[in-house]
Structure 1
Amino acid sequence: MPALTEIFGDDSVLQFGGGTLGHPWGNAPGAVANRVALEACVQARNEGRDLAAEGNTIIREACKWSPELAAACEVWKEIKFEFKPVDTLDNYMNNDSTSEDSLYNRSMYDTQSIRYQSISTSYYSVRFGGGGRTCKKEV
């Protein structure tokens, strides 16, 4: 959450399907936990705190007054993403095989989505609510 707040700022729409639906107490407490975490990060940023360095501390402090967030943190604390992505643009473009599996994977893409994916690898694209402006931030 601290990274999302830092990257996208205030004028963005964030979607939390798994975080909300995967809460041990149900969907509504999951939504509360996400809202509290986001509000804590925005408040900390507005106070001048470094979200990248203090992100875990900020969330842990918010857990003290939100049992929903504390329960979510207890469930998600041990999650590690230690795997390589298997569905990348490079794999698609370099795959010359005609096996049934590769044909299935290719059918999932069209020209427009491939173009978008190649653009989104070098930029974070954010569509802002006011006036339909688009802001791109180089990474």
Structure 2
Amino acid sequence: MRIWILLPLLVGCAGSPTRHVEDAGAIGPYSSAVVAGDFVFVAGKIGERGSSFEHEVETCIDAVERTLADLDLNLGDVVETRVYLLDMERYGDFNAIYAKRFPDPYPARTCVAVAGLPGGARVELQVAARRR
């Protein structure tokens, strides 16, 4: 059964070159995004730190949006998100902003609390998108 679930993804990427998108502002050895066929996998993005949590979330989503725009995509093309929160008490605050920024129907999503994030961030957002 598991093979059948992965089959559409594998077939969708078959024969398509994989392209890695670099970001001069990356804070580690990773690609900012990877394009594999119709799918785009955007590495985790963080927002401006030292500001309010809400501003950090907004600028985090802005960073994701910029990477998608560079690849002629937008938040409406996102099919999955992974959210990493330093403090799960901010889950409701995050959701309020997320619901305003991402179009309905919303992407599939996972949200987990973590002990720490790079650069002292309070939130990190990773997405996968698909070209229509």
- Give the structure-2-normalised TM-score: 0.25
Higher gyration radius (CA):
1
Higher relative contact order structure (alpha carbons within 8 Å, sequence separation ≥ 6): 2
Report which of the two has the higher share of strand.
2
